[in-house]
């Protein structure tokens, strides 16, 4: 298979792991990324054009030159807190940027898209585990903008203009250690890398946000899914896009609490560090876990690395080899 695949946001965390995996699977890749959050080092020897999806003209020229047969669309803003402070920015990047991309792809005759969506489209879950048809009621602009794009894709697909798969990621975690790719955000807001920073002594302590949730140990439960498993779902989505599409949850199907994550980091690192309990972080639901039965049935996807220590262990390996991230 040597389909030409455009990868927007391919210098970011999930985008780079996926871009390298699909390149290894024999696809021909062009990464476009504005490098605002992504890292040139994460693109390695793949072709890269530095451009912003807000620049409709540049995007169109790039598509007309490369003539993609499919697109994996990762480029987006993805910080929930920031989205509350700057909703217009999220609308511009996530919705308008995607509209620019859809126009550019159409101009180049490309009608296949795999979209990076999120569990945040559901908001407070109606039930656990979450199913794809459950109500979608986002509680922050980040989730709203992703849902808006899903609606556009659904309408375009109904009109026969597009084949698409929308992958609703739960908590992406871990690293592709063999490929030298991991999670390097600034600021870092995610639990696992933050706890690892404490284990590495780069932060004085780790924090637990909320200990009064109605869960077994009082802390939030999330569905952590290994980034390599996420990436593999994109390969499958691409392979089957002409027959299978729509929205797919992507999670392990099992949840782990904040305290369990902290214990796992202590175990895999062999380090002790201070853990401080803080009040709840605004807008955090107590439990978010996915039913991934749809993607299992339709695409044959199954998590190959579902264990917490496997996930946390890979993150620990990458962070201890790159204590200052890509630029260190
Ligand atoms: N969390 C925490 N301490 C931290 C960062 C996060 O206790 O330093 C909690 C957070 O409140 C949530 C869970 O860990 O319940 C996962 O948060 P993360 O930001 O990694 O992902 P989210 O589920 O919010 O997308």
Per-residue pLDDT of 97-155, as tens digits, reads 999 999 999 999 999 999 999 999 999 999 999 999 999 999 999 999 999 999 999 99
Q: What is the DSSP letter of 214?
A: S
C-alpha closest to that of 254 among 223, 275, 225: 223
- Over residues 273-295, the pLDDT tens digits come to 999 999 999 889 999 999 999 99
Q: Residue 1 has what pLDDT?
A: 56
- Give the pair of three-digit tokens for residue 98: 């995607």
Q: How many CA atoms lie within 13 A of 52 on its CB side?
A: 9
CA-nearest residue for atom 14, ligand 1, is 191
- Give the pair of three-digit tokens for residue 173: 């975690």
Global pTM value:
0.97
Q: How far apart (Å, rounded) are the C-alpha atoms in residues 70 and 180?
A: 26
Q: How far apart (Å, rounded) are the C-alpha atoms in residues 12 and 185?
A: 9
For range 200-213, the mean pLDDT: 97
Q: Closest ligand 1 atom to the C-alpha of 261? A: 14
CA-nearest residue for atom 19, ligand 1, is 190
Buried b vs exposed e over 31-63: b needs ≥16 C-beta within 10 Å? bbbbeebbbeebbbebebbebbbeebebbbbbb
Measured torsion, CA atoms of residues 168, 174, 178, 183, in degrees rounded to the nearest 10: 90
Ligand 1, residues at Cβ distance < 6 Å: 171, 189-191, 194, 207-210, 220, 222, 258, 281, 284
Whether residue 262 is predicted with pLDDT greater than 90 in this model: the reply is yes
User: β-pairing, 70-73 with 112-118?
Assistant: parallel
- Give the pair of three-digit tokens for residue 7: 């990868």
CB neighbour list of residue 94: distance below 8 Å, 6 or more residues apart: 76, 77, 142, 145, 146, 148, 149
CA-nearest residue for atom 16, ligand 1, is 191
Q: Residue 69 has what pLDDT?
A: 98
| Lowest mean pLDDT, pick from 85-89, 183-187, 194-198 | 183-187
Distance 256 CA to ligand 1 centre (A): 11
Distance 191 CA to ligand 1 centre (A): 5
Q: How confident is the model at residue 328 (pLDDT cuts 50, 70, 90)?
A: low
- Give the pair of three-digit tokens for residue 196: 């690892």
Q: How confident is the model at residue 197 (pLDDT cuts 50, 70, 90)?
A: very high
What domains can be seen in the chain, in order of their start residue? Answer: 4-173+225-250 (3.40.50.720), 191-223+253-327 (3.90.25.10)
Distance 284 CA to ligand 1 centre (A): 8
For range 232-241, the mean pLDDT: 97
Distance 266 CA to ligand 1 centre (A): 17
Cα end-to-end distance, the chain, whole Å? 36
Q: Closest ligand 1 atom to the C-alpha of 219? A: 15
Q: What is the DSSP letter of 176?
A: B
Q: Residue 62 has what pLDDT?
A: 98
Q: Residue 116 has what pLDDT?
A: 98
Mean predicted lDDT score pLDDT of the chain: 96
Q: Closest ligand 1 atom to the C-alpha of 221? A: 15
Q: Residue 241 has what pLDDT?
A: 96
Contact 299, 248 (CB under 8 A): yes
Q: Residue 327 has what pLDDT?
A: 81
Q: Which of 79, 116, 206, 209 to mutate to test the pocket of ligand 1 (most atoms within 8 A of CB)?
A: 209
CB neighbour list of residue 129: distance below 8 Å, 6 or more residues apart: 223, 251, 253, 289, 290, 291
C-alpha closest to that of 107 among 169, 144, 64: 64
Distances (CA, A) of 16 to 61, 68, 314: 23, 18, 16
Active site residues: 142
Distance 312 CA to ligand 1 centre (A): 14
Q: How far apart (Å, rounded) are the C-alpha atoms in residues 121 and 84?
A: 15
For range 155-177, the mean pLDDT: 97
């Amino acid at each position: 298979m040597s389909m030409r695949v455009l990868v927007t946001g391919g210098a970011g965390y999930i985008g780079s792991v996926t871009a390298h995996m699909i390149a290894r699977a024999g696809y021909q890749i062009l990464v476009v990324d504005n490098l605002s959050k992504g890292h040139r080092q994460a693109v390695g020897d793949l072709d890269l054009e530095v451009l912003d999806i807000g620049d409709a003209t540049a995007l169109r020229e790039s598509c007309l030159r490369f003539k993609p047969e499919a697109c994996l669309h990762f480029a987006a803003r993805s910080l929930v807190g920031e989205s509350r402070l700057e909703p217009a920015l999220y609308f511009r990047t996530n919705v308008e940027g995607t509209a620019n991309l859809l126009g550019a792809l159409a101009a180049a005759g490309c009608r296949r898209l795999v979209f990076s969506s999120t569990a945040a489209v559901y908001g407070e879950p109606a039930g656990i585990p979450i199913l794809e048809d459950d109500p979608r009621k986002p509680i922050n602009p980040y989730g709203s903008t992703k849902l808006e794009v899903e609606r556009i894709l659904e309408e375009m697909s109904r009109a026969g203009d597009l084949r698409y798969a929308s992958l609703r990621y739960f908590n992406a975690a871990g690293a592709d250690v063999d490929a030298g790719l991991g999670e390097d955000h600034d600021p870092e807001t995610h639990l696992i890398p933050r706890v690892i920073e404490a284990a590495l002594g780069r932060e004085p302590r780790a924090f637990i946000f909320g200990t009064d949730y109605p869960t077994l140990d009082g802390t939030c439960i999330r569905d952590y899914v290994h980034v390599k498993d996420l990436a593999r779902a994109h390969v499958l989505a691409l392979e089957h896009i002409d027959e299978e599409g729509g929205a797919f949850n992507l999670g392990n199907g099992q949840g782990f609490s904040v305290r369990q994550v902290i214990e796992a980091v202590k175990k895999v690192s062999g380090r002790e560090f201070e853990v401080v309990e803080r009040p709840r972080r605004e807008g955090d639901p107590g439990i978010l876990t996915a039913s991934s039965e749809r993607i299992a049935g339709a695409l044959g996807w199954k998590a190959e690395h579902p264990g917490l220590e496997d996930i946390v262990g890979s993150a620990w390996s990458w962070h201890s080899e790159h204590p200052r991230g890509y630029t260190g």
